[in-house]
Amino acid sequence: MNKYLLPAAACLVLGTSAAFAHITLETQEAAVGSTYKAVLRVPHGCDGKATIAVRVQIPEGVIAVKPMPKPGWTLQVKNGKYEKSYQPYGEAVTSGVKEVDWSGGNLPDEFYDEFVFRGTLAADLPAGQKIYFPVVQECEGATTRWIEIPATGQDEDALEDPAPGLNLLPKK
C-alpha cells in the first residue's frame, strides 16, 4: 500500500498546479541542434471565458518554424528578421517566423485543446538554459498573457502567468 501512496503523494505535492493551470509545452526539454515539435497545451479559457485566439512568440534561435493548421482556426504567421544569421543546412538564414497566430476559433473553458508547431533549435543555443515561448491567450472580452519570464535567480513558481519554457539539452 505504502509503495503506491508515497509516490502519489509526492506527485500531488511537487507536480500540481504548474501543469494544470498554465499554458505549457508538452515536451519541456530538447537538444540544441535538433528539430523540436512544440505542443502548446491550453487547459482552460481566460477566467472562464472561451478562447478565441492563441498567439505565440518565437524566441531568438528557434528557426525554420512551421505551424500545424487547425480545423476551425485561421492560421497566420508574422515573419521578421532574426538577430543574427543561422546556417542550419550550410546556407545562411536571416529571417523567418517570429510569431504564430491561431485565431477565429472557439474553445470553451470546459474543453482542452493543443496547438502545434515545429522548428529547429539552433546549434549555438546555450545548452543547460531555458528558452521561453510567450503566449497571448485571447478570449471573449478578456486576455491572459502567459508572457512572464523569470529574472535571474527568480523562482519560476512565483510568477502569476509564466511563459511556457523549454530546457535546452546538450547537442546529441
Partner 1 sequence: MHWWRAAFKRRAAVSVGGMSVVYFQRIERTVGRCFGLLAAILLLAVLATPNQALAHAALIKAEPADGAVLAQAPAQFSLTFSEPVSPLVLTLVRPDGTPVALTSFRLDDQTVAIDNPQKLGSGTHVLSWRVISADGHPVGGSVLFSVGAPSQAPAVAEAVDLDLRSAIWTGKVLLYIGLFLGVGGAFALTWLAQGVRWGQRFVISAILCGLVAAPLSLGFQGLDALGAPLARLAQPVVWRTGLGTSFGWTVLISLAALGLGLLSLAGPRTGARPLALAGLVGVGAALAASGHASAAEPQWLTRPMVFLHGAGIAFWAGALLPLGLALNSQSAEAGAFLRRFSRTILPVVVMLAAAGIVLAIIQVQTPAALVDTAYGRLLLIKLALLVFLFTLAAVNRWRLTALAEAGATEVRRRLTRSISVEMLIVLLIFGVAAGWRFTPPPRALAIAAAQPASIHIHALKAMADIEIAPGHTGEVTASIVIMTGDFGPLDAKEVTLVLSKPDSGIEPIKRPATKPGDGTWRVDNLVIPLPGRWTARLDILVSDFEVVKIEAPIDIRAD
Interface residues with partner 1 (CB under 8 A) are: 55, 57, 134, 136, 145, 147-148
Q: Closer to partner 1 by CB, 32 or 53: give it.
A: 53
**Order of strands, sheet of 62-67, starting from the edge strand that comes earlier in the sequence:** 24-25, 35-42, 113-121, 62-67
Q: How far is the CB of 104 from partner 1 (least distance, A)?
A: 18
Q: Closer to partner 1 by CB, 105 or 150: give it.
A: 150
Contact between residue 152 and residue 138 where contact means Cβ atoms under 8 Å apart: no
Q: How far is the CB of 147 from partner 1 (least distance, A)?
A: 5
Contact between residue 75 and residue 102 where contact means Cβ atoms under 8 Å apart: yes
Q: Closer to partner 1 by CB, 49 or 55: give it.
A: 55
Q: How far is the CB of 57 from partner 1 (least distance, A)?
A: 4
Classify 80 as helix, strand or coil. Answer: strand
Handedness of CA 51, 67, 83, 171 (dihedral sign): positive
168 alpha-carbon distance from chain centroid: 13
Cα separation, 134 vs 136, in Å, equals 7
Q: Closer to partner 1 by CB, 148 or 156: give it.
A: 148
Q: How far is the CB of 52 from partner 1 (least distance, A)?
A: 16
